[in-house]
Structure 1
Amino acid sequence: MAAKDLYEKDFYKILGVSKSATPDEIKKKYRTLARELHPDKTKGDAKREEEFKAVSEAYDILSDVKKKNEYDEARSLFERGGFRAPTGGQNFQGGDFGDMFGGGNPQDIFANLFGGGRRGPRKGQDLQTESKISFRESVFGTTLELRLSIDGTPAQNITARVPAGVNDGAKIRVKGKGANGEAGPGDLFILLHVKPHPIFSRKGEHITMTLPVTFTEAALGADIKVPTIAGDDVTVRLAPGTSNGRVLRVKGRGISKNGTTGDLLVTVEVQVPRHTEGKAEEALKAFAEATAHEDVRAEFIAKASQ
C-alpha cells in the first residue's frame, strides 16, 4: 500500500462508527461485519472479500489505542494540508512526500508510525525436539541427556530435567538452547512421549492396574500381594463374593504432583479356567449342585420385562 493511502482511507467510515466510538462499540461493529463478510460465508465473492480485508485493516488500526491516536493526528494534519514528521517538530505543507522527509522513504516512516518499523535485536528462534521416556520415569521424573546439533553447529550435550508426574505429550523447556539470535539464543522445547507400561496405566493422578484373581479367591475372599510402580508390594483384601470388575483403592500409592498424591486403583478380573479335569471338575460339579437353588438371573429377567 502506498504510504499516503493509509491516511486517505477513512477507517471510521469503513467500519461504520463515529470518531467518538468507544472500544467496545468498535469491537462490536467489527464482529458484526466480520461475520457478514467472512470468506467462509461469502463463498468466493471477490468484492465481499475485499470489503472483509478493508474492515479487518480498519479494525487493526482503530482497536489499538496508540495506532488510533497516531492515525487521528496524521489524518487531521493531512486534511489541513500539513504534516509533522514523527521524528521532529518541523512542519511541512502539502506537496511532494519526498520533500517532506528529506528524500527518505515515506512508506517506511508511515509503517514506523503504526508500529511496523524497525525493531530491536531479536532472540533466536525457539526449536523443538522429541524424546521417549518410560512410564516409571514419567511418574517419578528423570534427567534427559540429549546430543543435538543446533544451527549446523557441532553436536552438543544438553541436559534437561523432566519433572515428576508429566503426561504423554507434555513439553519441557530448556532455556537458551534454541537457535542463536542478535539478542541471544531462543529456547529448546522437548516433546515427551511416554511409553506404555505392561501393567500400569494412568487416570489423572491415579495409577490403575488390572489384577487377575482366581474364581475361588473371588468367591471365598483372599489377601493378595500386588506390585506398585515404586517397586514394592502392597496387600489388597478381597472380600468373599468379590465380583468381576470391582475396583479396590490403595490410598497414596499414585502420582505425586503439585502437592497432592493420587491412589492406586486395582480392578479385579476373575479368571475362569479354560479346562478342568479330575478333582477340579468334580469339585465344580459339586459346587453347581450345591448352589442350584440360586437363580443369579432372576433380577435380570425381571428388569427385561419392565
Structure 2
Amino acid sequence: MPSPTPPRTPQLPDGLSTRPLQKSDAHDVFVLMAAQEQQDIGEVAIEEADIVSDWARPSHDLGARSIGVWDGDTLVAYAELMGVDRADTSVLPSHRGRGIGTWLAHWLADLGRRLGSPVIGMPVPQGSPADRLLEALGFRVRWTSWVLKLPEGASIPERDLPEGYTIRTAEPGELRSVHDVLEDAFLEWSVRDREPFEDFEAATTGRPGFEPWNLRVAVDPDGSVVGVSLVLVSDNGSTGYVDRLAVRRDQRNRGIAQALLVDSFARAREHGTTTAELSTDSRTGALPLYERVGMVAESVWVNRALDLEPTTENAV
C-alpha cells in the first residue's frame, strides 16, 4: 500500500503568499537554504551555484515544478521536484512550527501524482526537524548519505596508476565520454532515467565559476577515458570537494579511484583550499573505501521518500 498521508491538504497560515519560482529567485532560495543548514548542521553546505546550475538544466521546468512561499518580501519556504522523484524543500527556521513544511509535503505529493511519479524523495539531515516531520507524514528512509572530510593535516595515501595510464584535465572533446563513464557507473545503483547530456553540461561546464581544471580524467594508454572526478572549490575558497567520482566497471580495483582522489584534492590545494570533502550514500557501498583512506563522516543525511502508488506486488 502507499505510505499514509493526512486525508486533507492543510492550509498555509494567513498572510503568506505563493507563486512558482523564477530563475531570478536563486539568491533568495540560497539564503533560505543556508539559514536552514546553519541551524540544522552548524554550517552552510549549499552554494548559490548549485541552484543556478540545477535550474539551467534544459529538462527542468522550474515554473511548473516549483513553489515559493513569501512572508511579505521574504522567501520563507520553497519546494521543487526535479526529474521523476528528486524533491527539495526548505523552511526558514523562524517560520517552523506553523504547518508550512506539512503544506509543502502535500504540494509535492500532489505534483508527483499529477506527473505520474511513483515516489518522491528528498535529503534531510538525520534527526533534524525536517527528518522528524517527514517521518510523521509517512516518508520512509530510502538511503543514508554521509558527508566525509579529510582531517586537518591528513592526506590520502598515494596510489600508482597502471602502466601507461595518466590523470589530467579533461579536454573539451572528451565531455561526452566523461558523461558516459559517470552515468554508466551511477546507473548501476541509481534507479532513474539516464541524465541527458545537455543537463550534465549545464551542471558542469555551465556551472558558475567552473574552470577546466575542475574536471579530472584518468585515461588508459589508448587515450580512452576510464575514470572521472569533478572537483570544485567552495565559495569561500577553503574547501575542495569532489562532486562526482566514477571509474569504468572494467577498470576498477586498480587504484584509479584513489589516484583520482589524490589528484583532485592536490589540484584544489593548488587553488588555495585547506580542507577536502565529498559525499557518498548507502547505495554505492563506497563508504568503507573512503574511510580506509582516512576520510571521516562529518554529517549524516537520510533520503526520505513517499510512495505515491502501490508497488507491483501490492497492486490489484
- Fold-level match, TM-score > 0.5? no
Q: Which has the higher contact order (CA 8 A, sep 6+)?
A: 2
TM-score (ref. length: structure 1): 0.23
* Largest Rg, 1 or 2: 1
TM-score (ref. length: structure 2): 0.22
